Amino acid sequence: MNNFFRRLSLPVKLLSLILFPLALIIFLAFTVYREKSETADLLDGYVTRINRSADISALISSLQAERKYGYNYVLTRDAGMQPAIVRQRQVTDSVLDWLASQQDASLHQFTSYTFLDSLLPVREKIDAARTTPDIVMHYYTTAIYRLYTLNMAMAGNNKYPDPVFADLTAEKLLTGMITYLEILSTNFYNAIYARQNNVAMLYGLLGVYDIYKSYEKELLVKASPAVVRRYKALRDTTALKPVTAYIDQVFTRFSFDTLYDAGEWWQLSGDASRGIKVLQTDLMQQVKAAMSKAHTDELNDRDLTLLLIALALVVVFGIMVFCTHVITQMLSGINAAAREIAQGNTGVTLQNVSGDVIGSLSDSIRTIGESNRQLAHAADLIGKGHFDTPVQTRGNNDLLGNALLRMRNNLEQFTAAIEKSRQQFEEVADKAPVMIWVSGTDKLCTFFNKGWLDFTGRKPAQEAGNGWMQGVHPDDRAGCAATYTEAFDTREEFYMEYRLRRHDGQYRWIGDTGAPRYSPAGFFEGYIGSCTDIHEVKVLEQRRDDFIKMASHELKTPMTTIKGYVQLLRRMHDGGRDPFLADSLATIDRQVARLTRLIADLLDATRMETGKLPVHPEPLRLGHLAEVLVKDMRTLFTSHNIVLHVQADPLVLADKDRLTQVFSNLLDNAIKYSQPASDVVITLSADREKAMVTVQDSGIGIAPEYHAKVFERFYREPGGQESTFPGFGIGLFIVREIISLHRGNVWVRSEKGKGSVFHITLPLHRPD
Amino acid sequence: MNDKPYHILVVDDDPDISMMLKLMLEYKGYAVQTAERAEETVAILRSTAIDLVIMDMLLSGANGTDICAMLKRDEATRQVPIMMISAHPNAREICLQAGADEFISKPFDMQDILSKISDLIKNRPR
């Protein structure tokens, strides 16, 4: 049902919504019309009856006038009354003609039981004066009486009383007959009992007898055939027959005879009445039953009507709800599908769609979904490099399809260009004298140039990915991987040295410089690295470092002896008599101290290069450290005036020996490059975050272009007098390295010929 | 200086240094004995009441650090403070790890070594 309805077209669906209420309205209208028709029919019956009653009243009125004129004419024979009589008779006749022309069942053959069938003979007797005034009066009076009773009868021609109308009329006529028969029977009984032949009484009863007969005639006209049969049986077979025969005989002879005595008459006439009464009672019962049934039928009919209306309402409401539900459901389905497609889903299906506008809508949505899926599939294939993938555009205005088509074509050209560029790169890379590798965004290597492959003697497939790591010396592998990964993750350039196995099995030191690669659009694409064989350099360096280490150690041993003896001698001759000896010993001591420092610096510089300089930080007060140092320096360098300004005594976390080394180097430089007797000033200060130390001299100064260079290893200012000063050019390099290890800064402010100020900052230590 | 001088044992395979230290310490009033090898050192420590040992880290034969560790393990000698000396870089950590009470790098300052010796003797456990 549901599916059937879904497949109906939208106009039919909407029409159904209108059609069913329309049917209900028609049904209700019909019901109301029927009810109204019945009421109108009933009213019509009453109107007819009123009209008929007015007509009969007019007839009665005219007959009354005719009676008056007829009576007077018979009594007086006055010819002058004739015109009035004729006029009146014309009035009566016209009314009779009018009534006869009406097709009214209740007036069927009414002249036969209202004595009016005798009107013409009576008029003739009046005109011929062959009658008496009493007879004229009697005739007209009985006719008028019967017309009155006819006028009182109920209205017919209605739906409701129709089935019982004949029986009801018959029952009333039977009642009248019983009444008049009993008047006659009673009077007859009195006459028979008194044995009086009262002619005047018989004349009086004649009217009663005529009325009885008129009722009988009306009964035979109006009663149903069944009732007529029953009555005729009654009249022909029961006591009614001898009674009516006797009554006829008495009124024919106008005298009673002795056929019945009083008792017999009483019995016989009583039976006759009872016979009619039985029929009358039966009819009454039938009428009651029929009316009761009509009433019940009507009530049932009303209930049925109500039930039908209620049922129709339920059905119509149900159909409307169903229609609305199905339409809403279909639209909801389409809506849900559209939303899914809007969210980028593909493969959306819609079921039970109709051929109308809703179906067409769902088809469109399905088409959108399907073409989206096809385009997505095509884009996916193109993305994987299948440039022969066909792209079905959905018309000239299909932006998406056309864009995809353009993208495919551009991508194809772009890829070809990249491939060409890659080939060119590889050609160049293969000719380069260095070893080159390239990795992708996944850290895995994708390319090794000829230089690399020749070095390792392995195939590209063996080196690809992380394969090259197999050639790295096992001791260097972890460090190598860590450096690469760390730099890669932060996209920083890196330099690392490791031992790589050559094709002949020898491990050789390699210097590897890696840098991130970016596309022209700025997208990260991986790394590229170039490597050189630094084995010889490395070996030489190692030898040099070993030599320096050994040399410094070997130099220190004799230095220890010399220094010890000099100091012992100075102590022994302190305040001695021989100033030359004292001065000589002091000079030896000073120069030995400087030599010691130089040897220490040389060794430290080497250790710094290899990152092996040990640092043992502890909380230190810079003030105390400076005081001890300045005191020592003053004993060594009496030539200069060493001044200490302690503006603050900051606490730092530092290696005591290393800091002493820093300050000694700075003081040593200051003394070395300035005139004897000049001031060398050390100032200690601090702010909220850092400790500051300055060492100021008034010496030869440094040109600004060399401010950075003086901190480099083995750097000596070129030319002139500076080269005459002793030193390896590593003092300031060591200062910078040590301060850097303490997370501090060092710099110089100086002008040529105007002295130098070395600045050092160190982070403050805040013990928690 | 007390009437009864403190006894110091100098262990170094370089006789120039041993002699220089001996002179320096005797000048300051200490009684000084010298040794060149492990066996000697142990023998002297067992026979004589020594208040301090000054020992070079690298000795021919046995290592100074090994002797130091051995002396520190021995109930009889563990109370004696040991000052190690060396010209070797990184020697400080090695010596202190071996149980030395003090380390002085070569070449040393006379005032420096004397004040440290004085501290060690004063603070030594009795």
- Chain A residue with the nearest C-alpha to that of B108: A560
Q: How far, in whole angstroms, is CA A477 from its chain's centroid?
A: 59
Task: Quickly list H helices, A610-678.
Answer: 622-636, 656-672
Q: What are the angstrom distances between the C-alpha of A632 and each of A143, A556, A576, A586, B108?
A: 177, 20, 21, 13, 13
| A597-614 per-residue burial string, b: 16 or more CB within 10 A, e: under 16 | bbbbbbbbbbbbeeeebe
Residue A201 corresponds to which tokens in the numbers above? 């009484």
Complete edge-to-edge strand list for the sheet that includes strand A445-448: A445-448, A435-439, A524-533, A507-518, A494-501
Encode pLDDT of A202-225 as tens digits: 887 888 888 898 889 888 888 888
Encode pLDDT of B22-46 as tens digits: 999 999 999 999 998 888 888 898 8
What integer best gives the mean pLDDT of chain A?
85
DSSP string spanning A183-217? HHHHHHHHHHHHT---HHHHHHHHHHHHHHHHHHH
pLDDT band per the 50, 70, 90 thresholds, residue A723: very low
Q: Which of A330, A327, A329, A319 is nearest to A16 (CA)?
A: A319
Residue B123 corresponds to which tokens in the numbers above? 């603070």
Least Cα separation, residue A656 to chain B (angstroms): 14
Complete edge-to-edge strand list for the sheet that includes strand A690-696: A641-646, A679-686, A690-696, A756-763, A745-750
pLDDT at A313 over 90: no
Are B108 and A549 inside 8 Å of each other by CB? Answer: no
Check if the beta carbon of residue A700 is closer than 8 Å to that of residue A673.
yes
Which pLDDT value is given to residue A758? 94
Which pLDDT value is given to residue A175? 85
Most confident of the following: A480-484, B57-61, B122-126: A480-484
pLDDT at A754 over 70: yes
Cα(A326)–Cα(A2) distance, rounded to whole angstroms? 7
Angle, helices A656-672/A622-636, rounded to nearest 10 degrees? 40
pTM, rounded to two decimals: 0.43
Check if the beta carbon of residue A568 is closer than 8 Å to that of residue B24.
yes
Angle, helices A162-194/A199-222, rounded to nearest 10 degrees? 160
Check if the beta carbon of residue A69 is closer than 8 Å to that of residue A81.
yes
| B106 contacts in chain A (CB < 8 Å) | 556-557, 559-560
Please report, as a single letter, which amino acid is at residue A516: P
B13 touches chain A (CB under 8 A): no
| A572 contacts in chain B (CB < 8 Å) | 27
Least Cα separation, residue A576 to chain B (angstroms): 16
Q: Between these two residues, A407 and A614, which has the higher pLDDT value?
A: A407
Are B109 and A563 inside 8 Å of each other by CB? Answer: yes
Burial zone of A66 (CB within 10 Å; 0-12 exposed, 13-18 middle, 19+ buried): buried
| A564 contacts in chain B (CB < 8 Å) | 17, 20-21, 24, 107-108, 110
Q: Which of B16, B108, B110 sits opposite A568 (nearest CB)?
A: B110
Residue A620 corresponds to which tokens in the numbers above? 């230190």
Q: What are phi and psi of B31, to 5 degrees?
A: -90, 125
Which pLDDT value is given to residue A718? 63
Tell me what the mean pLDDT of segment B83-87 comes to: 91
Q: Which of A713, A710, A766, A759 is nearest to A739 (CA)?
A: A759
Cα(A535)–Cα(A167) distance, rounded to whole angstroms? 145
DSSP string spanning A248-300? HHHHHHTS--SSS-HHHHHHHHHHHHHHHHHHHHHHHHHHHHHHHHHHHHHHH
Q: How far, in whole angstroms, is CA A35 from its chain's centroid?
A: 51
Tell me what the mean pLDDT of segment A316-324 comes to: 84
Tell me what the mean pLDDT of segment A11-38 comes to: 80
Report the run of H or E that residue A745 belongs to, with start and end.
strand A745-750
Residue A607 corresponds to which tokens in the numbers above? 């250790």
- Chain B residue with the nearest C-alpha to that of A636: B109
Are B20 and A560 inside 8 Å of each other by CB? Answer: yes
Which pLDDT value is given to residue A588? 87
Mutate to test the interface with A, among B57, B109, B117 (most CBs of A within 10 A): B109
Report the run of H or E that residue A747 belongs to, with start and end.
strand A745-750
Check if the beta carbon of residue A662 is closer than 8 Å to that of residue A695.
no
- Chain B residue with the nearest C-alpha to that of A607: B89
- Chain B residue with the nearest C-alpha to that of A550: B88
Which of these ranges, A233-247, A393-407, A501-515, A615-629, has the smallest mean pLDDT?
A393-407
| A123-161 per-residue burial string, b: 16 or more CB within 10 A, e: under 16 | bebbbeeebeeebbbbbbebbbbbbebbbebebbbbeeb
Q: Which of A768, A662, A752 is nearest to A701 (CA)?
A: A752
pLDDT at A728 over 80: no
A and B: number of Cβ contacts within 8 A = 59
Query: Looking at the DSSP assignment, which residues form a beta bridge with residue A513?
Result: A495, A530
Tell me what the mean pLDDT of segment A539-547 comes to: 83
Check if the beta carbon of residue B83 is closer than 8 Å to that of residue B92.
no
Strands (E), chain B: 7-11, 31-35, 52-56, 82-86, 102-105
ipTM score here? Answer: 0.90
| A563 contacts in chain B (CB < 8 Å) | 107-110
Q: What are the angstrom distances between the C-alpha of A19 and each of A52, A320, A323, A356, A507?
A: 48, 10, 12, 19, 97
Least Cα separation, residue A445 to chain B (angstroms): 41
Residue A486 corresponds to which tokens in the numbers above? 């760390």
Which pLDDT value is given to residue A412? 86
Q: Which of B70, B88, B66 is nearest to B78 (CA)?
A: B70
DSSP string spanning A518-546? E-TTS-EEEEEEEEEE-HHHHHHHHHHHH
pLDDT band per the 50, 70, 90 thresholds, residue A312: confident
A573 touches chain B (CB under 8 A): no
Q: CB neighbours (10 Å) of residue A518?
A: 12
Residue recorded with tokens 């005719």: A66
pLDDT band per the 50, 70, 90 thresholds, residue A530: very high
Percent composition of chain A: helix, strand, coil (DSSP 3-state, to 5): 65, 10, 20
A561 touches chain B (CB under 8 A): yes
pLDDT at A162 over 70: no
Which pLDDT value is given to residue A603? 80
pLDDT at A75 over 80: yes
- Work out whether the CA dihedral B24, B25, B29, B35 comes out positive or negative: negative
A597 touches chain B (CB under 8 A): no
pLDDT band per the 50, 70, 90 thresholds, residue A91: very high
pLDDT at A158 over 60: no
Query: By percentage, how much of chain A surpasses pLDDT 90?
Result: 24
Tell me what the mean pLDDT of segment A284-290 comes to: 85
pLDDT band per the 50, 70, 90 thresholds, residue B1: very low
Encode pLDDT of A223-276 as tens digits: 888 899 999 999 899 888 999 999 988 888 888 888 888 888 888 988 988 888
DSSP string spanning A365-391? HHHHHHHHHHHHHHHHHHHTT-TT---
- Stated length of chain A: 768
pLDDT band per the 50, 70, 90 thresholds, residue A716: low
Tell me what the mean pLDDT of segment A371-400 comes to: 81
- Work out whether the CA dihedral B52, B54, B59, B65 comes out positive or negative: positive
- Stated length of chain B: 126
Encode pLDDT of A568-598 as tens digits: 988 888 766 788 888 888 888 888 888 888 8
Beta-strand pair A745-750/A690-696: unpaired
- Chain B residue with the nearest C-alpha to that of A603: B89
Q: Which of A552, A568, A607 sits opposite B24 (nearest CB)?
A: A568
Q: What are phi and psi of A211, to 5 degrees?
A: -60, -45
Tell me what the mean pLDDT of segment A442-449 comes to: 91
pLDDT at A647 over 50: yes
Which pLDDT value is given to residue B84? 93
Which pLDDT value is given to residue A387? 81
Report the run of H or E that residue A607 belongs to, with start and end.
helix A579-609
Q: What angle do CA A128, A133, A137 make, to 5 degrees?
A: 115
DSSP string spanning A47-63? HHHHHHHHHHHHHHHHH
pLDDT at A27 over 80: yes
Cα(B60)–Cα(B9) distance, rounded to whole angstroms? 17
Are A556 and B87 inside 8 Å of each other by CB? Answer: yes
pLDDT band per the 50, 70, 90 thresholds, residue A339: confident
Least Cα separation, residue A423 to chain B (angstroms): 54
| B16 contacts in chain A (CB < 8 Å) | 561
Cα(A360)–Cα(A583) distance, rounded to whole angstroms? 116
Q: CB neighbours (10 Å) of residue A408?
A: 21
Check if the beta carbon of residue A527 is closer than 8 Å to that of residue A442.
no
pLDDT band per the 50, 70, 90 thresholds, residue A494: very high
B2 touches chain A (CB under 8 A): no
Please report, as a single letter, which amino acid is at residue A719: G
DSSP string spanning A648-664? ---EEEE-HHHHHHHHH
A560 touches chain B (CB under 8 A): yes
